Amino acid sequence: MAQQGGSSSSGGGGSLNVSPMKPLASLKVLVVDDEPMMRTIHKAQLVRAGINDVEVAANGKDAVDLHVNGATFDLILMDLHMPIMDGCQATKELRAMGVKSSIVGVTSSGGAEKTAFLASGLDDCVSKPFVLQQIAHYLKVPRSPTNPPKYHNP
């Protein structure tokens, strides 16, 4: 689970620097998966949940490029096995860029592969196909610039 930020804002004295919770309709989510079918399913699940701003990317490089060009997201759903750049590498690059969005891995892989994926900077990892309840937490956690991802190794 992602941690809530507890540090004070600069010049402040002990108060929480936590942004208010964003309503679902204003959340921006990025779905990164090389399979058109999975992008269609994930997008439909999110739209059904009330999230209208869902962008998709077909591989890790496209996801990174979106961020290089200034896009920001509240939540990124990242597949592992993708051509050009896989989910592991994409997550490392996003974290190295300073991206603080929640990144949840979506994969049917297990064992060492999943462990490595988690260690790349994910907040969590869910199995494919995921049910919306598995990522509900990441749609409700208050947005905070001091909200560090759970598995990030700086």
Give me the residues that bind another protein (CB under 8 A), please: 35-38, 40-41, 44-45, 48, 81, 108-109, 128-129, 131
Cα-based distances in Å from 148 to 21, 38, 40, 61: 16, 28, 29, 23
Strand, coil or helix: 76 = strand
Residue with Cβ nearer another protein (58 or 141): 58
- Closest approach, Cβ 61 to another protein, in A, equals 19
Rounded to the nearest 5°, which phi and psi values hold at 46? -70, -40
Residue with Cβ nearer another protein (41 or 118): 41
- Closest approach, Cβ 149 to another protein, in A, equals 25
Containing H/E element for 62?
helix 60-68
- Closest approach, Cβ 36 to another protein, in A, equals 5
Residue with Cβ nearer another protein (6 or 50): 50
Residue with Cβ nearer another protein (89 or 146): 89
**Among the listed residues 24, 72, 70, the one whose alpha carbon sits nearest the alpha carbon of residue 48:** 24
